[in-house]
Amino acid sequence: MNLKEYESKRTFEKTTEPKDKSEKSEGTTYVIQKHAATHLHYDLRLEMDGVLKSWAVPKEPPVNFGIRRLAIQVEDHPLSYANFTGTIPEGEYGAGSVEIWDKGTFKLIDRKEDKLVVEINGEKLNGSYVLVRLKDKKNWIFFKKK
């Protein structure tokens, strides 16, 4: 796990976002935070390797089959971030409000370098979901599987 990038982007004296507290958990946390930053987006987070693997989804995540969303992988976040809501102050990285849009658990069905298959158990997102990595590595496509 590596939270150096997460920590280097934030001033913890100014933001109320969590510093890593390395909580132990079952390893199944799924959360999507609606983040009203400069551009409204949705942060998809899945617990893997002791951190929250994170993607910024510029449009509303795919509730139904047939919708494909770009998901831009961003820095790993600490597990404690799954419960974060609030306002990141002006001038800080990601300034704007963060609220929980969906939350629950997930099961990792398949994990490859360029493809993740997960079974999401949330309130808005429910069922099999796929993340496929595009050529430029940072960009993934996120969609619901039939």
Q: Report CA torsion sign: 59, 63, 67, 69.
A: positive
Q: Give the nearest residue (CB) to Mn ion.
A: 35
Task: Assess contact for 121 and 104: CB atoms under 8 A.
Answer: yes
The least distance separating Mn ion from the CB of residue 54, rounded to whole angstroms, comes to 8
Q: How many residues bind Mn ion (CB under 5 A)?
A: 2
Rg (CA), the chain: 15
Query: Does residue 17 touch Mn ion according to CB under 5 A?
Result: no
The least distance separating Mn ion from the CB of residue 33, rounded to whole angstroms, comes to 7
Measured between its terminal Cα atoms, the distance across the chain in Å is 32
Residues 22-41 that bind Mn ion (CB under 5 A): 35
- The CA distance from 80 to 98, in Å, is 14
Of 9 and 124, the one with the shorter C-beta distance to Mn ion is 9
Task: Assess contact for 68 and 59: CB atoms under 8 A.
Answer: no
Of 19 and 111, the one with the shorter C-beta distance to Mn ion is 19
Residues 39-68 that bind Mn ion (CB under 5 A): 43
Placement of tokens 């039939």 in the chain: 146
The least distance separating Mn ion from the CB of residue 96, rounded to whole angstroms, comes to 8
The least distance separating Mn ion from the CB of residue 110, rounded to whole angstroms, comes to 26
Residues that bind Mn ion (CB under 5 A): 35, 43
